[in-house]
Structure 1
Amino acid sequence: MTDVPKNLKNPVTEISMNSLFFSFFCEKWYNGTRRLILRAADLFPRIGIQTFHAKKSTLIRINFRRCFQDWDVPHLMIFLRANRDVVSINLAYNNIHSAGFINLVDYIIAYKHVLELNVQNNDISGPGIEHLCKDGEKLPLKTLRLNGNKFGAECAKKVALFLLKNSHLRYLDVAEVDQTASSLVYFTTVMRWDQDEYNQTLRILDLSRPNTGHMYVLDTAHLANVIGCMLRFNRCLVELHLQKYSFSCHDIEVMLEDMKYNKTLQLLDLSSNNIGDHGMDHIANWLKTGPALTGLLLAHNIITDHGARALSFAMPFSKMKMLDLSHNKLEDIGVMDILNSIKKSTLLRYLRIFGNSMGHCTAKIVDRMLVSGVLVQENIDVKPYAKDHKWNLAYYPSDHYKQRYYNVPRYAFPQPLKIPYVENKMAGKAAPKVNFKYVDPVPLEERRPKVQKNHPFSCICCECRADDVLNSLAPSTTNIIPEVCTCSTCEQTLEANKLGTFQSDVTLVPRPLCSCNQDDCACCYCLPCKGKNEDLPLWERDRHPINCNCCKCGTQEVEYASSSISTKSNELHDYPDGVDQLQKIALILERVDSEMREHIVRWINMNEETLDSDLAMLYADKSEMNEEKQKDRACYYQRRVVPKLTSSEDCKELHRQGQESYDLPECESSSSVFIACHELSCGNDLTN
């Protein structure tokens, strides 16, 4: 088999389920634990039986590929008993029945080191669920995913009652298990805190995709009422998923009558329903009250521009950080209303708008917001591009929610066996503001870090904006007012403007003072003796004398070999302490255009060759100016003086006075120009 070492195959050509085999499917995490992932898509091409069939004196090899079966559970238990650091087991999309599930539950209760179990889309039926609920109080699991197992409504009721006995479970997924309205009422009842017995530890509940059976229809109004009552009296749920309930606008209105009193719900998933503009009006009115909701998923509904506009009016008053409006009936006007409401003060981190009718206007606004930093490309599912002077939007694969929820591999083919290591992406960062299940956490400092005291961004007068993207709340002003400056940046800017006080056309910017390196003079560059400096190569640093006092760290003047410019060391103390001279130069370069930036860099790196070229350029410019000046004088005579001349004597007298007053040269060209101008005006012949 491909990607399977030879020592994993036993003599009868069947893959051995030993410890080495299971180790290749484990992910090692930063906290020292491991996650065992045995998805069917990864196991199917790697395990099976190879047999040979004889046909007409020819051996034909036949591969019987298979998934994880019930008889593989004992091998898995042997591996888990020897590796107690495995805390999570993922057996999605396999062929496990109730017998294998019962053995697995018994092991988890006995050894208690497995905290997460995922058996979605298997063949677990009633006996396995009954055995799970019988010893529910002893089960140490914190995550249990049973979605996709068609065990029916009666077993779903037992799972709901199992929540009353278990105090460890935090995440329960019972979506698509053929539930009916009666079993759903059991879940809403055990989560109401106004009952005598209730669950107070569950944080995430997924009741999506119920199945009422043939020729039965859900009473959505009744379900909306009981779900609203549950949320009114519940104080522990953080995420609630209600997909494919066929909720209408009226059902949303009924649900919000009681749900508006909830103070803990942070994520509400209403995807794949029949919510329209009227329902969006009620949701917008609820968001204006400032609930704790930070994530709203409304994909695959029938929302139009009117509903988007109502939502845009409510977003500035809400705590929304994640919004999904993909695959609705929005057009440019509705999407533009949503985008225009995402100002710099809003906390929105994730935005999903793909699947709507969006054109040039929306794409241009998205591109502008990506450039300005209001949105981040990794947190939006569309990417703008221009073609034929028209902007369009393409799908950008930033939404990993469904991929992780359904346990879909990232690649369509099995990857080589390896032991990956999962690092802690939040190490050294602030607590994430978006931390939902199957959603990438978003820390605070990546977009809007807290402005520290005496930081340039906290000053109301400075024009220093080195990184406006990181601090979008920074005020924008172009005037410098040193009187109200609190960060001393204005003083640095004013001092930087005084750099050109030397009596020369060439200004050399000195290096900053470093009092910690005054003994060995390693902080500066000494041109007369080619002293030790970090910019010098290693073989030239040792030639600098230890007792050198000719650089700016000493008390004598700095003498530059490339020019006669000199300055005293005490003049360098005019700049504020603690600011590197390179930083000053960088601040100056950021405030000028590209042409002036090139000139400044050229002047700083001035040498004799550059100086000669500049002088030659100045001489050439001066010659061109003299020629232009002569042409301007000739034109002046033609327009103003020559038309007033009436005789040749006046012309000769004016020509004589012009040579004395305007210093006109006695040359053939100037005289010919003067004569031609006069002949054009009065017709007198001055050739003789």
Structure 2
Amino acid sequence: MAHKFNEDFLNLFCEKNSDGTKNLRLKGNELQQRIGSRVKAKDMHCIANFLNAHREITRLDLSYNDFGDKGLMILSDEYFSRENDLLHINIMHCDIGVEGLELFSCSECLHLKSCRLNGNKIGSRGARFIAQLIDRCPSLEYIDIAETDQTLESIESILIVIEHSTIKVLDISRIIPNSYYTKYNKATLADDLSVVLKLNQTLVELHVQKFEFDGHDVELLLSGLNVNKTLLVLDLGCNAIGDLGMEILSEWLKTRPSCRALNVSSNDIHDSGARALSFGLPFSKLRFLDISNNNIGDSGLVDLLNTLKKFCRMRMLFLWGNKFGPHACHKLDRMLESKVLEQDYLDIKIYKVDEKLHAAYYPVNHYKHIYYNVMDHGCPVELKIKKNKIIDPAALPRELLNMSHYGRYPPVDESLGLKKEVQKVCKSEVEQKEVNDVEQNQFSMRRKCN
């Protein structure tokens, strides 16, 4: 299929951005349905030439393809060895191993801000090349190395480099494979993560799903959380922290940390854990809470909902997968009517049958779909040039939540313009330019008179 990846074909898969840049989207699951094939190693020559000819491309998505080590080596040799402007690359689930990652991490012209390697079975031998990539690319802010089959020793070598890096978003979910035949010391890993939280001064998001952390591991993690002042998103989903872990996290929330978002979904939490969280929630700055798919009953949900009216309003709340009863349904219905919660940011829909309230799933949480590049309708949409609006950091209303794979909250209202501080700066710059022009004209007139 190498003949298909020509100039015209690749242009069809480019998305335009409002700032003049472009995204090249070559997702393997989409290509398979369109042309019956995924990107192979031999296709990388055409893609590298296209990227070299179009320096405006800043984002490359090659997820779920079959080019493997050989393809990544071709891309590194023909593109990353030269000066380029690529900032974001997604090569998740592309059969990449140690050999391809070695050449990629040694590339001379890496200016990446984000790199997703998750799903590639790199193994413990490739840990030093992951660390080398982080070390050689000081502009890197987002690194996703989940599901890369590391060992406890190899992940420790990566965390040592991250301790003094400028990483803002770190995803190491299920980085160590676990089965009935192989086990690792979870407490050691939790202690290593607490050291990272203590030493790293830039970390904003930490995703540590599927580590089987229990309440005692959360207690070890807490020593780093108490010190860290930059963390805004803590993702502990799909672990086993239980009620004890929630009690520990509740005590941490009472100290009013900087954390804005907490994910504790699928953690075997019961009513006592929800009640413990309700004691710490009013003191926290949380605007996002995902406590879905647990074993919380009607009374626990009511305790939790009673504490949402706090000084820092809850903006996104995901509760589906718990045991909703009449009291929780009634409470949630009243909160929706009073606008304490918004239906568009809540995954529960309350409906009435025979004068009784019931709860149904409301599909608003698309985090995993976006993370794993799942197609919206199971099939590729119509091919057309997509235009993405790049949000100005000074846009209004002021952003309250802005996490990877979640939409900005609240959405931008273009009629409000930019923040006053930015407008003042822009106005002062214009005034200064006018003053300089006047002075220049006066100077020119004096020279003519003389």
Q: TM-score, normalised by structure 1?
A: 0.58
The reply to whether residue 40 of structure 1 matches residue 28 of structure 2 is yes
Which whole-Å CA distance do the structure 2 matches of 1:231 and 1:377 have between them? Answer: 35
Name 2:100's counterpart in structure 1: 128
The reply to whether residue 204 of structure 1 matches residue 169 of structure 2 is yes
The reply to whether residue 353 of structure 1 matches residue 325 of structure 2 is no
Q: Does the 8 Å contact 2:244/2:273 carry over to 1? A: yes
Which whole-Å CA distance do the structure 2 matches of 1:344 and 1:258 have between them? Answer: 26
Which whole-Å CA distance do the structure 2 matches of 1:246 and 1:268 have between them? Answer: 16
Name 1:241's counterpart in structure 2: 207
Superposed CA RMSD: 2.0
Which whole-Å CA distance do the structure 2 matches of 1:147 and 1:408 have between them? Answer: 15
Q: Does the 8 Å contact 2:18/2:390 carry over to 1? A: yes
Pairing 1:598-609 to 2, within 5 Å after superposition: none
Name 2:188's counterpart in structure 1: 222
Q: Does the 8 Å contact 1:108/1:140 carry over to 2? A: no
Q: Does the 8 Å contact 1:181/1:212 carry over to 2? A: no
Q: State how many pairs are aligned.
A: 411
CA deviations on 1:124-146 (whole Å, 9 max, x unpaired) are 111111112223x6411111100
CA deviations on 1:530-565 (whole Å, 9 max, x unpaired) are xxxxxxxxxxxxxxxxxxxxxxxxxxxxxxxxxxxx
- Tell me how far 1:263 sits from its aligned partner: 0.6
Three-state SS of the structure 2 residue aligned to 1:164 is helix
Name 1:183's counterpart in structure 2: 154
Q: Does the 8 Å contact 1:92/1:121 carry over to 2? A: yes
Name 2:405's counterpart in structure 1: 438
The structure 2 residue matched to 1:307, chosen from 251, 258, 273, is 273
Instruction: For 2:157, give the aligned amino acid.
Output: Y
Which whole-Å CA distance do the structure 2 matches of 1:126 and 1:84 have between them? Answer: 28
Pairing 1:296-375 to 2, within 5 Å after superposition: 296-343=262-309, 345-375=311-341
- Tell me how far 1:259 sits from its aligned partner: 2.4
Q: Does the 8 Å contact 1:431/1:444 carry over to 2? A: no
Which whole-Å CA distance do the structure 1 matches of 2:27 and 2:68 have between them? Answer: 15
Three-state SS of the structure 2 residue aligned to 1:217 is coil
Which whole-Å CA distance do the structure 2 matches of 1:92 and 1:281 have between them? Answer: 39
Cα pair distance change 1:373/1:141, threshold 3 Å:
same
Q: Does the 8 Å contact 1:109/1:140 carry over to 2? A: no
The structure 2 residue matched to 1:100, chosen from 71, 81, 86, is 71
Which whole-Å CA distance do the structure 1 matches of 2:411 and 2:25 have between them? Answer: 31
Three-state SS of the structure 1 residue aligned to 2:34 is coil
- Tell me how far 1:445 sits from its aligned partner: 8.9
Which whole-Å CA distance do the structure 1 matches of 2:352 and 2:128 have between them? Answer: 55
Three-state SS of the structure 2 residue aligned to 1:205 is strand
The structure 1 residue matched to 2:138, chosen from 142, 149, 167, is 167
Three-state SS of the structure 2 residue aligned to 1:44 is helix
Pairing 1:19-34 to 2, within 5 Å after superposition: 19-34=7-22
The structure 1 residue matched to 2:119, chosen from 130, 138, 148, is 148
Q: Does the 8 Å contact 2:243/2:273 carry over to 1? A: yes
Which whole-Å CA distance do the structure 1 matches of 2:161 and 2:27 have between them? Answer: 32
Name 1:634's counterpart in structure 2: none
- Tell me how far 1:114 sits from its aligned partner: 1.1
- Tell me how far 1:166 sits from its aligned partner: 2.1
Which whole-Å CA distance do the structure 2 matches of 1:285 and 1:259 have between them? Answer: 12
Three-state SS of the structure 2 residue aligned to 1:341 is coil
Instruction: For 1:236, give the aligned amino acid.
Output: T
- Tell me how far 1:213 sits from its aligned partner: 6.0
Which whole-Å CA distance do the structure 1 matches of 2:11 and 2:215 have between them? Answer: 51
Three-state SS of the structure 2 residue aligned to 1:111 is coil
Name 2:420's counterpart in structure 1: none
Q: Does the 8 Å contact 2:346/2:362 carry over to 1? A: yes
Instruction: For 1:319, give the aligned amino acid.
Output: K
- The runs of at least 4 consecutive aligned structure 1 residues that moved more than 4 Å come to 424-428
Which whole-Å CA distance do the structure 1 matches of 2:224 and 2:71 have between them? Answer: 43
Q: Does the 8 Å contact 1:433/1:444 carry over to 2? A: no
Name 1:278's counterpart in structure 2: 244
The structure 2 residue matched to 1:385, chosen from 351, 354, 373, is 351
Which whole-Å CA distance do the structure 2 matches of 1:180 and 1:210 have between them? Answer: 8
Instruction: For 2:315, give the aligned amino acid.
Output: R
Cα pair distance change 1:98/1:354, threshold 3 Å:
same
Name 2:85's counterpart in structure 1: 113
Cα pair distance change 1:138/1:445, threshold 3 Å:
closer
- Tell me how far 1:81 sits from its aligned partner: 2.4
Pairing 1:281-680 to 2, within 5 Å after superposition: 281-343=247-309, 345-424=311-390, 428-443=395-410
Cα pair distance change 1:111/1:258, threshold 3 Å:
closer
- Tell me how far 1:425 sits from its aligned partner: 6.0
Instruction: For 1:175, give the aligned amino acid.
Output: A
Cα pair distance change 1:385/1:15, threshold 3 Å:
farther
Three-state SS of the structure 1 residue aligned to 2:15 is strand
- Tell me how far 1:227 sits from its aligned partner: 1.1
CA deviations on 1:207-228 (whole Å, 9 max, x unpaired) are 1103346622120111111211
Which whole-Å CA distance do the structure 2 matches of 1:318 and 1:325 have between them? Answer: 16
Report the identity percentage.
38
Cα pair distance change 1:371/1:130, threshold 3 Å:
same
Q: Does the 8 Å contact 2:395/2:412 carry over to 1? A: no
Point out which structure has higher relative CO (alpha carbons under 8 A, 6+ apart).
2
- Tell me how far 1:27 sits from its aligned partner: 1.5
- Tell me how far 1:14 sits from its aligned partner: 8.2
CA deviations on 1:417-469 (whole Å, 9 max, x unpaired) are 111112346684133110111111113998xx9xxxxxxxxxxxxxxxxxxxx
Which whole-Å CA distance do the structure 1 matches of 2:128 and 2:209 have between them? Answer: 19
Q: Does the 8 Å contact 1:227/1:255 carry over to 2? A: yes
Q: Does the 8 Å contact 2:292/2:322 carry over to 1? A: yes
Instruction: For 1:435, give the aligned amino acid.
Output: N
- Tell me how far 1:15 sits from its aligned partner: 5.9
CA deviations on 1:273-312 (whole Å, 9 max, x unpaired) are 1111111111000110011111111111111111111111
Instruction: For 2:369, give the aligned amino acid.
Output: Q
